[in-house]
Chains A and B, each alone.
Chain A
Amino acid sequence: MTFPISGVTLDPFVFPLIGFGVGLLSGFFGVGGGVLVGPLLYFVGLPMHFVIGTNLAHLAGKSLVASRQQRAWADVDLKLGLLIVGGTLAGAEAGARLVEALERLDVVDPVIGIVYIVLLLAAGLFALWESRSRTTSETVLAAADALALGNRPAGTKAMGPAPYVNLPISGLERVSLPLLVLLSLGTGVLSGALGIGGGLVRVPAFIYLIGVPVHIALGTDLLIMLIATSYGTLTHAVKGNVDVVIALLLHAGAVAGVHLGGLLVHWARAPRRASAALALLPLLGALILAAQLLRV
């Protein structure tokens, strides 16, 4: 059938199946499935600007549910969130306008595709490095650990130029404000331009650059992601980049997949392999995207 908003003609079960498959991985490994949605949507033939907007809409629904399920509000550093969210929204708007400009120049597919691949490769290699360094000291990971990227490195100190702010909930006395602004703008641009939540970059930056404790980094990131993806959905929808029907189908499949993946965890004791999956899923996403870019 033809999806009239985006104009693509596909079997309507494709999108719930993508959502289901990715949700299954997310539920099974705890994290990571979201990085596959964009590449898979592009692979099945959705135009790149619709991939970006539609993925953001699907992520908005997912992050709302995730924040409720993980009781994330209990682990939010509201001050950090407020400091980050303004820049993130400005960056997201800039990213959405960048997509519009690239679309006018008819280069949105190669430019966004290559940036996406570079980001996924970097995320995959980082996760690989992180999992190798962790598995040398641990053989079995608890499920809660599998959700985290690592513990706060010992001796993390304030980095970046003045002025500094203190973040008492995160236990940090001197955090560079320009560093926070730069981080918020950068992740916002990535979110608006690539249709991702930004947590791929933001969470490691919170933990390794700023020194935020892992559970607060994850909780605060979910709050920022919900706001950023909601704003991204709005601005991309106004620009005509969101096929809401596809987003709803993706999300319906994802809910079922996450639920089933959660049941399978107990059978396979999957968290043991979660760190490896963290590395493999972005690399797989990069491969799918590269294959489709070369085919077009």
Chain B
Amino acid sequence: MHKDRFLIRNLIVALLLSGLVIVLYLAVILDIVTAPLLDLYARSPLRYAVTTLLVVLGQAILLEWLTSGLSARFRLERFDRSNDRPR
């Protein structure tokens, strides 16, 4: 019962954090990044391609670092670890 309550709390916190991250990302990407990327797309395909790859891999590292940090900050992984028993 205690674990269930802990899980529900974790899910709610994770949902709120995820929603916040996505909304912030929408704002940042759509407002700041779109115009310069479109300019690159139109003018220099090679530079656009390299930038695309760097931006995608960079975002992957950044978001992974961010979600791991937030999970640790809000202790979202504590429940997972307590349940990890060898089978």
Contacts and interface: CB of A to CB of B under 8 A. Distances in A.
A253 B22 contact: yes
Interface in A34-78: 57-58, 60-62, 64-65, 68-69
A234 interface: yes
- Identify which of A68, A237, A244, A247 gathers the most chain B CB atoms within 10 Å of its CB: A244
Interface of B: 4, 7, 10-11, 14-15, 17-19, 21-22, 25-26, 29-30, 33-34, 37-38, 41, 45-46, 48-53, 55-57, 59-61, 63-64, 67, 71, 76, 79-80, 83, 87
A238 B18 contact: no
Interface in A225-241: 230, 233-235, 237-240
A245 B36 CA distance: 11
B83 A266 contact: yes
B83 A240 contact: no
B34 A16 contact: no
A30 to B, nearest CB: 14
Nearest to A68: B64
Chain B interface main SS type: helix
A60 B7 contact: no
Nearest to A19: B22
A242 B80 contact: no
A20 interface: yes
A257 B56 CA distance: 17
13 contacts: A13-B26, A65-B61, A68-B64, A142-B87, A234-B50, A240-B41, A245-B34, A249-B25, A252-B25, A252-B26, A255-B60, A259-B67, A263-B14
Interface in A185-244: 230, 233-235, 237-240, 242, 244
A251 B22 CA distance: 10
B7 to A, nearest CB: 5
B55 to A, nearest CB: 6
